[in-house]
Amino acid sequence: MLEGAEGQATALAMRLLVGVGEAAGAEALLDVASAHIDGGLYHGRASLDFAERMAGLGARVRVPTTLNVGSLDLLHPERFRGDPATARAARELMDRHVEMGCRPTWTCAPYQVAEVRPALGQHVAWGESNAIVFVNSVLGARTDRYGDFLDLCAAVAGRAPAAGLHLDGNRLGRRVFRLDGVSEDLLDQDVLYPVLGHLVGTRTGPSVPVIEGLPRALSEDRLKALGAAAASSGSVGLFHAVGVTPEAETLDQALGGKPPEAIERVGPSDLRAARDQLSTVTDGRIGAVSLGTPHASLGELERLSAIVGGRRVAPGVEAFVATGRDVLSQAQGRGWVEVIERAGFRILTDTCTYVTPVIQSPGPVMTDSAKWAYYAPGNLGVPVVFGSIEECVRSAASGRVEREDGLWD
């Protein structure tokens, strides 16, 4: 393939993979079973140039390949508020990836699409930070951190460098976070998990963190929120939760029988401080609410439909919930989307509100996502309030920040 026997596009992909492998100290390449492409999100002309060059050379992916969010909601294109020329380029970028054989999933949570979930121990080449940390940590499959262009190369070649988190030794936990004095009530709240993830990410550095003291029966949605936050505030591509995740049945297994480099105790005051870091304002009126980062799961849409009840979003407040189109079609069949939209929330697919101009309000914007809260002030220039999904819904209905502090005492 490197010598061009399977075409120019595959040869180009292999040159890049070999170059990165050499830089990473890899001694070999390995086969990957699937890929998830982050490069469909338009970041400027270079993104489109690379996709056009690969497509022009006849590139076709050779493994099942899903696509991360783009810059447009193709089901609701009227919601894009940016420059029309940017929208055209963004659409061309999305189209080029589909032409190369990628599946138009347009979601940052491809693990919610049952037929593409990797198996335990399976090697894949996935981009997008929350997808990387979820597939490594929760599913126990193996991917390194693949960024734009390299993920597409791996999909075209079906190969990746045997380096990073593909290797046993690099998957061992190093820094232990031990929950201490955290109430059962707080452990049973969804809002804890993005906050804990944010704390772990800010303190971990390049190490693989191990979390001790979590309930054993944690939902995927809570693990998703934890991992997405840790990957945003830090560089976490894999975490272990003792007794919860597949490579950490015990603390000793998570550490590979070696002593940890550090043990940090995490108490209520630490968690409250981490929660407070996720807000730039804490009271007053709000201009918008954004849910679904990472994309809302079927279970999260069901829960949102129950929480909104008979409430209505207040006049002058924009309210969005982002989800993948595969999940959306299932939720529509169950009647949950109608309930959510009747309450005044707008469904967004194929993209996310912190990466593309959809929200018109100058803020403040309230969110239940630590990832959204971490990135939006820089990406959008808006003030942010972090809270639980219940607090977000109540605030959307009243038009003002409504939060309960007692849970964090």
Same domain, 136 and 237: no
Task: Look up the domain containing 31 and give its range.
Answer: 8-168
Same domain, 253 and 203: yes
Same domain, 248 and 377: no
What is the tally of structural domains in the chain?
A: 3
Domain finish residue from 137, 168, 199: 168
Domain finish residue from 277, 304, 335: 277
Same domain, 31 and 86: yes
Same domain, 164 and 178: no
- Residue 409 within any structural domain of the chain: no
Domain finish residue from 277, 309, 326: 277
- Residue 296 within any structural domain of the chain: yes
Amino acid, res. 11: A
**Stretch 156-184: mean pLDDT:** 97
Is residue 204 within 8 Å of residue 236, measured between CB atoms?
yes
- Residue 1 within any structural domain of the chain: no
Is residue 313 within 8 Å of residue 283, measured between CB atoms?
no
pTM reported for the whole predicted model: 0.97
DSSP string, 306-337: HHHTT--PPTT-EEEEEE-HHHHHHHHHTTHH
Which percentage of the chain shows pLDDT scores above 90?
A: 96
Query: Residue 205: what pLDDT?
Result: 80
Same domain, 293 and 342: yes
- Residue 3 within any structural domain of the chain: no
Query: Residue 405: what pLDDT?
Result: 87
- On average, the pLDDT of the chain sits at 97
Same domain, 123 and 201: no
Q: Note the pLDDT tens digit of each residue in 85-106.
A: 999 999 999 999 999 999 999 9
Torsion sign (Cα): 404, 323, 134, 370: negative
**Three-state DSSP class for 67?**
strand
CATH code of the domain containing 315 = 3.30.499.10
Query: Residue 407: what pLDDT?
Result: 84
Model confidence at 206: pLDDT above 90 = no
Same domain, 181 and 164: no
- Residue 146 within any structural domain of the chain: yes
Model confidence at 349: pLDDT above 90 = yes
β-strands 159-161, 240-241 pairing: unpaired
- Residue 210 within any structural domain of the chain: yes
Q: Note the pLDDT tens digit of each residue in 303-338.
A: 999 999 889 999 999 999 999 999 999 999 999 999
Q: Note the pLDDT tens digit of each residue in 104-148.
A: 999 999 999 988 899 999 999 999 999 999 999 999 999 999 989
Query: Residue 60: what pLDDT?
Result: 98
Same domain, 22 and 158: yes
Residue 245's closest CA among 212, 204, 267? 212
Query: Residue 234: what pLDDT?
Result: 95
CATH code of the domain containing 116 = 3.30.499
Same domain, 24 and 90: yes
Same domain, 158 and 13: yes
Query: Residue 331: what pLDDT?
Result: 98
- Residue 200 within any structural domain of the chain: yes
Q: What distance in Å separates the CA atoms of residue 266 and residue 255, rounded to the nearest whole number?
A: 19
- Residue 305 within any structural domain of the chain: yes
Same domain, 27 and 161: yes
